[in-house]
Amino acid sequence: MSANRLSIPLQTSRNIAQVARRVAGILVVIYFVWRFYTVVIAGAAYGPDTWVRFAISGLILGGMYALIAIGYTLVYGILFMINFAHGEVMMIGAFGGYFVFEILNAIKMPGASDPALSLLNAFPIPSIILAFIVGMSASAASGFFLEKIAYRPLRNAPRLVPLICAIGASIFLQNAAQLLFGPQRRNYTNPFILERGTGWTILVAGNPVIITYTGVFSFVMSILLMVGLYMLVQHTRLGRAMRAVAQDKKTAALMGIDVNAVISQSFIISGVLAGAAGVMLGIHQGIVYYYIGFIPGIKAFTAAVLGGIGNIPGAMVGGLFLGIIESMGPAALGIDFQLKDVIAFTILVLVLIFRPSGILGETLSEEKI
Amino acid sequence: MPITLETRQVTKMFGGLTAVDSVDLVIAEQSIASIIGPNGAGKTTLFNCISGFYKPEKGQVLFMGTPIQGLATDAIAHLGMSRTYQNIRLFSNMTAMENILVGQYPHLKNGWMDAILRHKRYNREETASIAEAKRLLDFVDLTNLGDNLARNLPYGAQRRLEIARALANKPKLLLLDEPTAGMNPQETDEMTTFIQNLRDQLGMTILLIEHDMRVVMGISQQITVLDYGVKIAEGTPKEIQSNPRVIEAYLGPGAAQLSERFRKQKRHLHENA
Amino acid sequence: MSNSIRNGIRAGSTFAVIIIFLELIGFTVIGSTLIGKVLGNAPQSGAMPPVINLVIFLGLLGLWNGANAAKPDPRGQTFSQALTAGVAAGAFCGLWVAIYALIMGYIQSLGIDLRVYLSAISPESNALSLFGLPGTSAALAHLGLQTGMGALGALLALGLRSGLWRRTAGSGWASTRRGVSGVVAQVRRFPYAVYVMYGLLAIIMIAAPHAWGSYWNYITGTVGIYVIMGLGLNIITGLAGQLVLGYVAFFAIGAYSVALLTAPQPQNIRMDFWPALLIGIVLAGLTGVLLGLPILRLRGDYLAIVTLGFGEIIRIMLRSDLLTPLTAGPHGVRDIGQPALFGMSLSSDVNFLYLILLAMVLAIFITNRLQNSRTGRAWVAIREDEVAAKASGINVFQSKLLALAIGAAFAGLGGVLFASRNQFTGPEDHALMVSINVLALVIVGGMGSLPGIILGAFALKGLPEILRELENYRLMVFGALLVVMMILRPEGLWPASRPRLEKKDRSAPPVREEEPAPMDAEGVKNANHS
């Protein structure tokens, strides 16, 4: 029968693809294990103190990735759209904090015994709070206007259209920032109490490891913000509305939820988190310029996919996981440190091949056929 | 009589919900069969299991005797099964003619190298397929509308075009998902005749989901009733009409007795008149 | 009345934001300089243009502001309503700009150099934006200028709209397009006319490079290469609907193939150009397949981000120490081989341009044949509705893979030509910017439309070469263009048209003529309005 003849090659070709994927997966795992063994265990390239340093910097970086990743996941869960410009939203927040510190540092404290004492160092904690408020508001505002101007008119367009629009917005914001603030890298002026490179020293295997104040500060901040967001989404009216809209926009609208307002609010929340991440990135890494949003943006998206897109706890886990892998991975696998950016992308590809729904699984509304 | 489609204990679950529960179906060649049932009864889900959009968790789908469950949708289309959709899914920025040409895809052999070289066989096949598409346009009464974009066609024409696209595959089995949805009585009648013609003239086997009982009762040889994913009745239109379980599925418990009483009263009135 | 005031205020405030933004990024200075070119009073490079140029520049913006505020009202619009809207828009725009000028004047009077924070604001440019006046007078001048121009703009708009406007600008572009298509259709009716037309085109293409000189040949060559790449990306994105953001990766593979195979350093293989060309194309296509195999089964937008990552990986790898022995690292590869035919070198700029044009014609030919074939229809069907395409028997995965492979091969061809022409290639030739350039030209021209892509390549690659002053603003403008095009005209400048396959009977009644297919959001938006 002709039907039989046709179906068998089609079916087997698909089976072969599946088997090939499994074999490739096993090979990849074997390769990683082998590299890990030769470098870490047989080679003993680094002492335990170095590993602790890698782990700490990974956690700090991971916290920031997680904050940005939440923004991607929130928007993707609701609009099924990668908000490409999200990294740029973070960059705007970083600039907001930068200018607060700069201005406060330029104004000298009148009547102080030390004439060089600036407002920034006279009132360090209010300054930091102000920097966060300004950075978060700048990012929230840019997220809000981005959605309103660029994405809202395309709500019902085919999916390619808003995606291209988001890429355009990303390029626009990046280059506008370059034209506004110049292409040079700028140093973040921290208050003395958060001086970069200073911190508590602990001894690991007899070697000192510095746990920086900026690092601890960033990590604690990101955990607090994540907990806050989780509470917001799980236990408030707004959170309920957001979850409802993510499930089914039409039904949510029928239940009296203002869908447009909820979408705006989720862009604002994403912006707030990204802005905080931006200021933290500035404080911790000390450099701000127009391009700082791009690579972290892509990595945070990777983190969101890694955790399962649409899934908020997934984004948090994915972010921390990615941060740690990125800082420990090159050492563990014996790869050149120049190539650490490659790791994130490789992970993205591997996750998409072997487990496209991420670690914790996607939570997207059922798309009807 | 040879059997075109058979499902054995087909089950499809979404999370904890069993959308289709152990459904058996046997459809004979050159017949018109209908699936009816209240909203959310799992009719479209069953369609999706048959046409390969979903992979059923349990059970078998046999098409012309070959098991096809788990086969990809396009492979199933190659075997000679076509379908239409509840909400029309045309290629809206292509012309009507192009939509039909896409429907012919499984029969044509030209690859991309042939398209670049445009040798004799390519031109022959292309000419033949365009002629065939025009014939199909005529068949569904869309003559002279072929060069319009699909999304610019009126609603009824879009429905017919969708069927024409499905027919272009020269299917042995045609699945129609609510072909008369959104049509006025006159258009519905035309559609009913049209479906009958498909069987009588082209010798096709047709399985349809339909809400309009006039259509269902008028043209089906066999009706299957689904409720909450379970097959609750099967039979000829007459058998289904008087089946109490069907009436209850549609109108709620106790409805069967009510309707029986109503029928008696009506008969009574008639006798009195 | 209050309605028009409200509209005016909104429009005016938006324009004020735009003007202040242009001031902050230094575009007002560039704009005034460009006006100076027209007026013939352009300043020396680096110096500020005269104040009058800035007044003209801001005045033109003010006219636009007024015209924009006095938008046509479907319920009819009276003279006074339009005027009110224009004046309100102008006044508010002027007010905000005046406040900006006051702040700037104040900061300048404090002696703070803003260049530290805002790179485009120097004391000179600041003085220019204050019209060389002290703060308060400058603010008043801005207010007056904007209000006056807003009123004038509104009146102009009202006047033009009543007659001329609609017919000329409103449908001018569409009718131009139709005119060109009409001429082509007319010519087609005569036997052999098509060949005469092609002949003429060929003669122009053969003669022009000799007449132009090497600078223009270089620009035309670049445009030609970008047409090839645009056509390739068009197959992937425009026809098959798959977004690829790392298109530059395939370009890089083509460029580095020819570089490593023909250059004396670092490999010294010194292959002939032609086999290297073939290898470059095939390698790029194969990479497309390898990249597509794992990704193309997934949700469409993942392809965008994975290819974006892949493009960056390629660039990082090319710069890294790891690949330096293989690819010469950040220094790039020099002395890349050039083609020779029958012992005659094609390396002169004219000859190489011929080669590029030939490749371009070939690319156009192939795309044209593919797009209306069974394969091309399958691609468009996937773009339109993947599920329905699958149910029509199309193996969606294989079709997408084919599109990616062919598109990547086009990019490989572009890369080979680019590297060989420049006789050099390095990691910085393969930045993300190339991908964005190609994507922008495809979208601005019109996805899926052949003439659109040629137009887009000329507009986006050719024009900036002519307007060198705008170089710094190019990427920002591309970004803005992508956004604006997606919102206002997703089908592009020259939308794709579908072939007319049903040849109609002469006797049959004529069918309603439709505007060629707008790609996307247009239809949805129309449906929403009605």
For residue range C103-120, list pLDDT tens digits in order.
888 888 887 778 888 888
Q: Does A175 sit within 8 Å of C479, measured CB to CB?
A: yes
Choose the weakest-confidence range: A21-25, A219-223, B175-179, C175-179.
C175-179
pLDDT surpasses 60 at C87: yes
Q: Does A161 sit within 8 Å of C117, measured CB to CB?
A: no
Amino acid in the structure at residue C421: R
DSSP classification of residue C505: P
Helices (H) and strands (E) in chain B, counts: 11, 10
Residue C51 CB-density burial (10 A; 0-12 exposed, 13-18 middle, 19+ buried): middle
Of A3, A366, A369, the CB nearest to B66: A3
B48 vs A: CB within 8 A: yes
pLDDT surpasses 90 at C209: no
Amino acid in the structure at residue B229: G
Q: Alpha-carbon distance A81 to C404, whole Å?
A: 22
- pLDDT band at residue A362 using 50, 70 and 90 as cut-offs: confident
Give backbone dihedrals phi and psi of C435, rounded to 5 degrees, phi first: -60, -45
Low-confidence ranges of chain B (pLDDT < 50): none
Contacts of A11 in chain B (CB under 8 A): 71, 75
pLDDT surpasses 90 at A71: yes
Q: What is the pLDDT of residue B149?
A: 93
Closest Cα of chain B to C254: distance in Å? 22
Radius of gyration of chain C (CA): 27
- Quote the distance between the C-alpha of residue B12 and its chain's center: 19
Query: Over the stretch A334-361, which tens digit does the pLDDT of each residue have?
Result: 777 778 888 888 888 888 778 878 888 7
Give backbone dihedrals phi and psi of C192, rounded to 5 degrees, phi first: 70, -10
Q: What is the pLDDT of residue C77?
A: 63
Closest Cα of chain B to A73: distance in Å? 22
Q: What is the pLDDT of residue A368?
A: 42
pTM of the model: 0.86
Query: Over the stretch C416-471, which tens digit does the pLDDT of each residue have?
Result: 999 999 999 999 888 888 998 899 999 989 888 888 998 999 888 888 877 777 88
Q: What are the Cα distances from residue C157, in Å, to B107, C154, C438?
A: 58, 5, 36
Contacts of A157 in chain C (CB under 8 A): 486, 490, 520-521, 524
Which has the higher per-residue pLDDT, A121 or B136? B136
Quick one: which H or E segment has residue C344? strand C344-345
- Quote the distance between the C-alpha of residue B98 and its chain's center: 22
Q: Which two tokens stand for residue B133?
A: 């598409």
Q: What is the pLDDT of residue C213?
A: 82
Q: Alpha-carbon distance C206 to C226, whole Å?
A: 19
Mean per-residue pLDDT, A14-34: 80
How many CB atoms sit inside 10 A of residue C87's CB? 23
DSSP classification of residue C176: H
Contacts of A366 in chain B (CB under 8 A): 14
A14 vs B: CB within 8 A: yes
Interface of B with C in 18-77 (CB under 8 A): 51-53, 72-74, 77
SS3 B82: strand
Give backbone dihedrals phi and psi of B175, rounded to 5 degrees, phi first: -100, 120
Give backbone dihedrals phi and psi of A100, rounded to 5 degrees, phi first: -60, -50
Of B85, B94, B169, the CB nearest to C384: B94
Mean pLDDT of chain C: 84
Q: Which two tokens stand for residue C481?
A: 């263009």
Choose the weakest-confidence range: A8-22, B52-66, B94-108, C39-53.
A8-22
pLDDT surpasses 60 at C506: no
A13 vs C: CB within 8 A: no
SS3 C341: strand
A10 vs B: CB within 8 A: yes
Which has the higher per-residue pLDDT, B189 or C79? B189
Maximum Cα–Cα distance for chain A, whole Å?
Answer: 98
Q: Does A161 sit within 8 Å of C482, measured CB to CB?
A: no
- The answer to whether the beta carbons of residues C420 and C279 sit under 8 Å apart is no
Radius of gyration of chain B (CA): 21
Q: What percent of chain A has pLDDT over 70?
A: 94
- pLDDT band at residue C162 using 50, 70 and 90 as cut-offs: low
Closest Cα of chain A to B268: distance in Å? 46
Q: What percent of chain C has pLDDT over 70?
A: 90
Owner of token pair 């069969």: B33
- The answer to whether the beta carbons of residues C260 and C335 sit under 8 Å apart is no
Mean per-residue pLDDT, A122-147: 94
Q: Alpha-carbon distance C275 to C273, whole Å?
A: 6
Nearest one of A146, A167, A363, A162 to A267, comparing CA atoms: A146
- The answer to whether the beta carbons of residues C336 and C413 sit under 8 Å apart is no
Of B48, B53, B66, the CB nearest to A7: B66
Nearest one of B92, B104, B106 to B134, comparing CA atoms: B104
pLDDT surpasses 60 at A6: no
